Amino acid sequence: MITTLDTFRNRISSKNLLIYALTIAGLIASIMLARSVDEPSALPLWISEPFQFAEWINGAEDWLKENFRWFTRMIASGIEEVLYMVEDFLILSPWLFVLMLLVLPALAFGGLGLALFTFAGGLFWGGVGMWEPTMQTLALMGMAVILSIVFGVLLGVLSSQNDRFESILKPILDTMQTMPAFVYLLPAVFFFGIGGPPAIMATMIYALPPVIRLTSLGIRQISHETIEAGESFGASRLQMLFKIKIPLSLPSIMMGINQTIMMALGLVVLATFIGAEGLGSEVWKAIYKLRVGWSLEGGLCIVFMAIIFDRLSLAIGHGAKNAHSGSGIRFYLFPQSWDIKPWAVGIEYIIGFIWNAIGGFMNMISLFIASAIDQTIGRLHRSFAAAVSRFIRHHLFFVGSLLVLTAIIVVDNWGPGIGEFPEAWAFSFREPVDQAVKWLTVNPAFIAFTKGTRAVVYLYMLHPLDVFLTQLPWYITITVLGFISLISVGRNFAIVCVALLMFIGACDLWAEAMLTLSSVLVSVFVCLIIGLPTGILAAQSPRFDAFLRPIMDAMQTLPSFVYLIPVLMFFGGNVVSAVIATVVYALPPIIRLTTLGISQIPITYTEVSSSFGGNMLQTLIKVKIPMALPSIMLGINQSVMMALAMQVVTPLIGGGGLGREVFNALNTSNTGAGLASGIGIVLLAIILDRLSQAWTQTQRDALGV
């Protein structure tokens, strides 16, 4: 079989012309065929009618509700107790105390820059008047992340030890990551109640996979030499695991935790759908009243939280920076290109000086405490005092942090009091943002632009593709997709692919799935049109890149709900708005990976090109883009996945397809129907993911990378 396939592949490359001609002929024939009918294709009734998947699921759900609710409720009440304690602690403590709990680790692991950023984030949370919702979200996400880490590391270690377990776990994890959360939100209410516990469970389902994957990966990647060395010293299996394997794979585990945190924060707004309070419900309340500025304030609180925890967990993964030692390294606040400006250097020196002074002062106090203990307790119990003072000397930063926290508590309780965030520091940009949105909504030039975009996207991309994909008979689509899978991935996947597509059809969701596919393809195409040039530009100009980075960070972490309403106001409620919102969400990976791919090309290649007289454009098109293609393909793959994830959110502003089916099922609390459409999305994700990965691999092989 493999040999026939190989000869087939060879024949493709040798008879390119014929293949092109056949493909084009086939395409024209399919378009004619799709045009000749005027209703969407569907699987015949004798297949879809007996296949009552939704009914079976609802039956199973009822059974679970009757028999397992006592158990899930028990778990939920346990989670609720702890959650309320953490929440009360965060809300009732003085705000500065809580903020310091974040700033001090940021300082220890990420250095002064991250600490200042964290502090600024705290000022923002309080300043826009969202300190309390931020603390609620922090408690909720904190619980979800901690539970995810506990279970994730456990499952990851298990799956690293057992190949069969891992092969069973893998498809489950894929499903957990791609299944739209709307599908399991309502059942979560019945099993886990309202508010925190079901939100935590739903967040865990979505955010658990990366820790499991990267723990397992980290343990499996440990070199044989290390393991053999351990064995030769007679380490037992458990000793190997806990003394060698887990400690060595900590960076990988931290990477997984980082991804888990980011994914958990992606669910903050969805969690309000089941009554979880916090930033998500602020954003929702604002959206409901069409108050864009208000929802942006809430959204940016989430962005700050996401960036702080992203940088902090990455920094912890890379190990402490010794920022507290005050070793006199110069501090950089501004871009290096500002170094010529004396005022910028001056400010940096002042911050650096104050910082070093504080560091030195803290060290002195800690040393003073250490020697005081040595002098006093040392007279009573020498070895104990020696141990304590050694501990202090070795953990100067930790002691310093404790001192800061104690000082805050002392000031709060016996001094002037800190309490809630000072009202004098409040600020707000709701009104200007609302004004700006309103100004754009009525600006004739801007509306002419949005109407033009809408017409082009609808008339020349979305509508023709919708018609083509939905009206082309299903057996032709399945055959073509199966054939593509066969030549680009392999026989087994082709069989799986055909079976998955048949499942979608049998659930009577064929036309919806094709609409979703069309919307995803058009969105990713628009992403490419915008993302490729932007990415190339960013690769050529570091300044543009530096300007783009924070914007893309914000685009990826800002809850998509925030920009749904403005997009709708500018583009109207229709499928094009859905595409625009999807593009905003799915654009960053293409830009990032294009930039990465081009800037990673060894300089020799471009030099060779220019020495042959290639101008800049030729070098770009003939050398740089082809060389960067594997990276760009990876970006496309990620964009496709994100665009698919967005399909469940776009029905809120008029998007159609499987996402709307999921949303309608949520409205009627029909779990079975929601699950069927959710599985449809998962299956599309699997197929598109595998295909684009296979193409990336082909590009890599062709380049010999």
Partner 1 sequence: MSKLTWRNSIIAGVAVTAFTLGSLSANAAGRLKAPIPDWTGGAVTCKVVQMILENELGYKVKAITMPSGAGVYEGVAAGDMNYACESWPSYSSAKDKMITKFGGDGSVAYMGSVGIVGVSSYYVPRYFVDEVAPDLKSYKELNKYKKHFATIETNGKGRLIGCPTPAWECDDQKRLDLLGVDFIASELGTETAAWAEAQAAYDRKEPFLLYAWEPHWIHAKLDLVSIELPAHNADTWPATGWAEDIPFNYGDPVSMAMDGPNADAAHLLSNMKLTNAEQAKMVLAIDVDGREIDDVVGEWLDANESTWRKWMK
The residue range among 563-571, 583-591, 607-615, 631-639 that interacts with partner 1, by the rule CB under 8 A, is 563-571
397 binds partner 1 (CB under 8 A): yes
Whose tokens are 């309390």? That residue is 132
Written as one string, the DSSP assignment of 520-543 is HHHHHHHHHHHHHHHHHHHHH-HH
Report the nearest approach of partner 1 to the CB of residue 40 (Å). Answer: 16
Q: Name which position in 438, 491, 543, 622 contacts partner 1 (CB under 8 A).
A: 438
CA angle 497, 498, 503 (to 5 degrees): 95
Report the nearest approach of partner 1 to the CB of residue 248 (Å). Answer: 15
The structure tokens listed for 641 are 């996945």
Residues ≥6 apart with Cβ < 8 Å to 258: 310, 313, 314, 317
Q: How far is CA 53 from CA 64, 579, 667, in A?
A: 17, 30, 19
Residues in the chain: 705
Q: Name which position in 26, 44, 78, 319 contacts partner 1 (CB under 8 A).
A: 319
| Cα dihedral 525, 529, 530, 536 in deg (nearest 10) | 120
281 binds partner 1 (CB under 8 A): yes
Closer to partner 1 by CB, 9 or 394: give it: 394
287 binds partner 1 (CB under 8 A): yes
Which residue, 253, 174, 168, 254, is CA-closest to 219? 253
Other beta carbons less than 10 A from residue 250's beta carbon: 14
Q: Name which position in 129, 317, 573, 614 contacts partner 1 (CB under 8 A).
A: 573
Which residue, 305, 279, 309, 310, is CA-closest to 562? 279
Closer to partner 1 by CB, 125 or 397: give it: 397
663 binds partner 1 (CB under 8 A): yes
Report the nearest approach of partner 1 to the CB of residue 554 (Å). Answer: 22
89 binds partner 1 (CB under 8 A): yes
Report the nearest approach of partner 1 to the CB of residue 692 (Å). Answer: 28
**142, amino acid identity:** G
Report the nearest approach of partner 1 to the CB of residue 199 (Å). Answer: 11
Written as one string, the DSSP assignment of 323-376 is GGG---PPP--S-GGGGG-HHHHHHHHHHHHHHHHHHHHHHHHHHHHHHHHHHH
Closer to partner 1 by CB, 392 or 691: give it: 392
Binding residues for partner 1 restricted to 439-468, rule: CB under 8 A? 441-442, 447, 454-455, 458-459, 463
Indicate the SS3 state at residue 508: coil
The structure tokens listed for 243 are 């003394």
258 binds partner 1 (CB under 8 A): no
Report the nearest approach of partner 1 to the CB of residue 14 (Å). Answer: 46
Closer to partner 1 by CB, 464 or 490: give it: 464
Q: How far apart are CA 564 and CA 133, in angstroms?
A: 22
395 binds partner 1 (CB under 8 A): yes
Q: Name which position in 57, 185, 261, 676 contacts partner 1 (CB under 8 A).
A: 185
Closer to partner 1 by CB, 179 or 633: give it: 179
Interface contacts to partner 1, rule CB under 8 A = 81, 84-86, 88-89, 92-93, 101, 105, 108, 185-186, 189-190, 193-195, 272-275, 277, 281, 284-285, 287-288, 290, 319-320, 394-395, 397-398, 401, 438, 441-442, 447, 454-455, 458-459, 463, 564-565, 568-570, 572-575, 651-655, 660, 663-664, 666-669
